[in-house]
Structure 1
Amino acid sequence: MGTTVPTTGGDAIRPFTIDVPEEQLTDLRRRVAATKWPDREPDDSQGVQLETIQALADYWATEYDWRRFEERFAALPHFVTEIDGVDIHFIHVRSEHEDALPLLVTHGWPGSTVEQLKIIDPLTRPTEHGASAADAFHLVIPSLPGYGFSGKPTETGWDPVRVARAWVELMSRLGYRRYVAQGGDWGNAVTERMALLEPPGLLGIHTNMPATVPADISKALQLGDPPPAGLSAAEKTAYETLADFFRTGVGYAIEMANRPQTLYGIVDSPVGLAAWMIDHDVRSYQLIARAFAGRPGGLSRDDVLDNVTHYWLTNTAISSARLYWENTGAFFDARGVEIPVGVTVFPDELYPAPRSWAERAYPKLVHFNEVEEGGHFAAWEQPQTFSAEVRATFRSLR
């Protein structure tokens, strides 16, 4: 699956090589082809539609080429280093521009380092993408513990706070004394907790899934109350979108937060894993379903299966789910971040954060923008827009 160069130093950074045995790919195709199918759903709202998942499975078993992706993925500089007893895998791409700013980018679930690949070139080589050399970044893209090629914790306690501390250590170990950080989904939870730690080198953060919900709004959402009086139009839209998501869209999160170890089916069945992953939120699912219906937009069939296959081959379906069990904080509640923050609101995100909430949540809001297209997997779906937003956020902090 992957190899590292052995070393005796406890804090050493070791090169990592990706090499998937052919028998694992043969077994994957066999399992996909042998899937036992249920009957068709009587109502589309009941989950991943049979037509969509069968189209995915057919392409996966007969046409999808992991080796084509692996060649591109493995060509990047991959490393591991042990932090707090766990091997942390990360991609580290340095820009050729001398004054590039180090940037740590953290993925979420059901994402991985795969969803960040399209932003590497625009951020490390900005002059080839219509930007200035002054906008260049050195990129550090780690895999969360229990995800991808990172180690799987054998003890509890690896919550977003502990991951944030590990990321601070990683940047220090790489020799970066001044840096910025970015994240969405779990990546935002970790990035905001890095900001709360206020390590000396962290200049600011950017998020595409901000935690801005005020305490009174959060309480009303928990009680299932109607929108409080006095909300602006943007605030009311955010409230109603969140209320709908909490009512119909968090089943996967509740199961993983309570009983992650019970999900044996998605470890044994690749199609079960794919269905579980692509049903993250309605708008993301619709985007993915269009790709398998011959109408791709933002994500291709290969994009989707690169990520799902990555989870399958690393056997991280359950180890990744444990992060939900570990977490004790609310996803969207404002946390009191006091360092500079940039926010980009993508229209198909889980909720459209209003500027008014962002200004209250982040007193040092250095950038806020509502873009026209994109959703939960912003870097993956809209890499050029995402990269431009990251550049705009950190321009004043260099």
Structure 2
Amino acid sequence: MPTAITPFRCHVPDEVLADLKARLARTRLPDQLDGAGWDYGTERGFLDDLCTYWRDSFDWRASEERFNRFPQFTTQIEGENVHFYHIRSPEPDAVPLIVTHGYPGSVAEFLDLFGPLSDPASYGGNPRDAFHVIAPSIPGYGFSGPTRHRGFSLHKAAAVNCQLMERLGYDRYIAQGGDFGSAISSAMAQLHPERMIALHLNFILGRPADMANPFAGLSEKEIAEQEWKRNYDLHESGYQAIQGTKPQTLAYGLTDSPAGLAAWIAEKFKTWSDCGDDVETSFSKDHLLENIMLFWVTGTINSAMRLYYESIGPARAPAPDWTFVTVPTAHARFPAEIRPTPRLWAEQMYNVVRWTVQPKGGHFAAFEQPALFIADLREFCRDFR
């Protein structure tokens, strides 16, 4: 039946893992200029070390046990396969919470959150903070598998999430998102504001209150942040231009070469995190590889990148007449976030009721700083239980 919900367990065939090891053993690395570091992209020494660890030491079977620790399912919505976690809390008053990842992330970002969010009492927390947790893999990502139809955009992903919550029997819920998950959760709030209790974002968009004088009302610090963002975009937005125009061409190399895939993804985790020059101060090799593996074993890097083409490619960018999000919205600002949106700008698009600045962390907040992320989410949601 098209609406059936089927239990799912992660298990990759041995031959897929053997092929991966063989490809890693045959890796051909490019040259690197002396002293280049990460200036031209992923640093060769880092990638060589990561791929050696991947080939010789990384234990995917142990990672599968982590992925299978919580109940997973698949279903069909809008002609696309949807993989999702659904962790029902033992607490009778738990509130439904849907958390959505972004690019180049996956549900691997949330594995260490599922227990504390769904069963806080077992992790030293207050049982009144419990959630029923739903964490979909965006169609085209990870265990959802590649998307099958043209035009699958962020807006369609939001419609899928809304239908998923309806199919699970939740008519009122809280949504959380970062990166593409922020856009998807925000679109859910626009599609069905009557269903959404509250919205929590660690990545938030905005627009000037006065388009003729965009910096009007901003502090000196906020103006400096926008100058930083302008300079950042000049140096760091090439991936978005490629993925928004010709993702298929890039996908051949990333689908064929695990080293190429690791270089493309790990560079973002380094650049977008609060790690200085050492990505492993924010993410272990095992955490990086668990996320990368979800793209490798499912062959989904092409469809994951295609979401850029379908959503923000030429003539596909969101229309300027953004529908104001009336749902009460919180923003947790992590200092290494790549889009430091001023609160005044965010308030032109959202009903902002909470704005917190975190002491550390970056774009992948739930993955990088789970304790801070959980604490902020809990505190915000207490007012909406």
Contact 2:102 2:181 in 1 (8 A): yes
In structure 1, the partner of 2:198 is 204
Identity of aligned residues (%): 41
**Counterpart among 266, 271, 280 of residue 283 in structure 1:** 271
In structure 1, the partner of 2:133 is 139
Contact 2:274 2:282 in 1 (8 A): no
Counterpart CA distance in 1 for 2:248 and 2:277 is 28
**Counterpart among 274, 279, 286 of residue 302 in structure 1:** 286
Counterpart CA distance in 2 for 1:390 and 1:267 is 36
**Cα deviation, residue 282, structure 1:** 5.5
**Cα deviation, residue 199, structure 1:** 4.4
Please, which runs of 5 or more residues in structure 2 have no aligned partner?
none
Counterpart CA distance in 1 for 2:25 and 2:277 is 20
One-letter amino acid of the structure 2 residue matched with residue 117 of structure 1: L
Contact 2:25 2:55 in 1 (8 A): yes
Equivalences for residues 211-250 of structure 1 within 5 A = 211-214=205-208, 228=215, 231-250=218-237
Residues 303 and 333 from structure 1, CA distance in 2 versus in 1: closer, same or farther, beyond 3 angstroms? Answer: farther
Counterpart CA distance in 1 for 2:32 and 2:237 is 23
**Cα deviation, residue 67, structure 1:** 0.7
Counterpart CA distance in 1 for 2:273 and 2:368 is 13
**Cα deviation, residue 353, structure 1:** 2.8
1:79-124 deviation line (CA, Å, top 9, x unaligned): 0111011111101111111110000000001000101111111211
Question: Could you say what secondary structure the match of 1:392 adopts?
Answer: helix
**Cα deviation, residue 153, structure 1:** 2.3
In structure 1, the partner of 2:360 is 373
Q: Does 1:313 align with 2:301?
A: no
In structure 2, the partner of 1:159 is 153
Equivalences for residues 49-60 of structure 1 within 5 A = 49-60=43-54
> How many residue pairs were aligned?
378
1:18-46 deviation line (CA, Å, top 9, x unaligned): 21111111111111121111112342311
Query: Normalising by the residue count of structure 1, what TM-score does the alignment of the two structures yield?
Result: 0.89
In structure 1, the partner of 2:18 is 26
Residues 234 and 337 from structure 1, CA distance in 2 versus in 1: closer, same or farther, beyond 3 angstroms? Answer: farther
Contact 1:283 1:348 in 2 (8 A): no
Question: Could you say what secondary structure the match of 1:326 adopts?
Answer: helix
Counterpart CA distance in 1 for 2:143 and 2:208 is 36
One-letter amino acid of the structure 2 residue matched with residue 342 of structure 1: A
**Cα deviation, residue 262, structure 1:** 0.3
Q: Does 1:190 align with 2:184?
A: yes
Residues 41 and 332 from structure 1, CA distance in 2 versus in 1: closer, same or farther, beyond 3 angstroms? Answer: farther
In structure 2, the partner of 1:349 is 337
One-letter amino acid of the structure 1 residue matched with residue 29 of structure 2: W
Question: Could you say what secondary structure the match of 2:297 adopts?
Answer: helix
**Cα deviation, residue 76, structure 1:** 1.8
In structure 1, the partner of 2:170 is 176
In structure 2, the partner of 1:262 is 249
Contact 2:209 2:348 in 1 (8 A): no
Query: Normalising by the residue count of structure 2, what TM-score does the alignment of the two structures yield?
Result: 0.92
In structure 2, the partner of 1:17 is 9
Counterpart CA distance in 2 for 1:126 and 1:333 is 41
Counterpart CA distance in 1 for 2:292 and 2:253 is 15
Counterpart CA distance in 2 for 1:21 and 1:280 is 29
Once superposed, what is the RMSD of the aligned Cα atoms? Answer: 2.2
Question: Could you say what secondary structure the match of 2:344 adopts?
Answer: helix
Counterpart CA distance in 1 for 2:204 and 2:321 is 9
One-letter amino acid of the structure 1 residue matched with residue 285 of structure 2: R
One-letter amino acid of the structure 2 residue matched with residue 113 of structure 1: V
Contact 2:275 2:281 in 1 (8 A): yes
